[in-house]
Every structure is written in structure tokens, then in C-alpha cells.
Amino acid sequence: MRTGLLLLLLATPAAAAPPGASSCSGCHGAPGGAVPSLSGHTAEDIASSLAAFRTGARPATVMNRIAKGFSEDESRAIAAWLAGGGQ
């Protein structure tokens, strides 16, 4: 089942970036800088961070302002794309 899903994924072209996703790499780059890198995070991590930024539960400088521009579904799509290696 797992292998079947993997093969199915490989057979289809990588999806185009969902709305907003391609902008993230304007700030988020390689690990080690002041701005956290997004590489190595699961989609769930990224989506829950975006949700916490959106509600203000997680303190931020700009991400609180940016996350408010995306719905829960949009945030999840962005998170899945980033976790899948999109940039």
C-alpha cells in the first residue's frame, strides 16, 4: 500500500505551488540564519505553526501578519508543498 502510493506520487509531475507557497522562500532559506529554515519540517508542523501564528497563539514579528492572509485549507496546502520539497 505504502509502495503503491509512493509510485503513484512519482508517476505524476510535482504539483505547481499552491497559492502563496512560492513566496515563502523569499525569507526562509538554508538552516543557520536568524529566519528559521523550513527544510526538514513535516507538513503537520508547518500547518500547526501557521495556525498558531494566525490566531496569535505563537508570538511573531511578521508571521502573525502574513498567516492571517491564508485560510486553514490554504495553509495546509502550503505546508504539504513545502514539506514535499517545494521552494
The dihedral formed by the CA atoms of 50, 55, 59 and 65, expressed in degrees to the nearest 10: 70
Minimum Å gap between C-beta 5 and another protein is 6
Check binding of 68 to another protein (CB under 8 A): yes
56 binds another protein (CB under 8 A): no
Site string for another protein, 3-22 (x = CB under 8 A): --xx--xx-xxx-xx-xx-x
How near is the Cβ of 49 to another protein at its closest, in Å? 14
The set of residues, in sequence order, having a beta carbon less than 8 Å from that of 80 and lying 6+ positions away, is 43, 47
Per rule CB under 8 A, is residue 51 in the interface with another protein?
A: no
* H runs (alpha helix) in 1-87: 2-11, 43-55, 63-67, 72-83
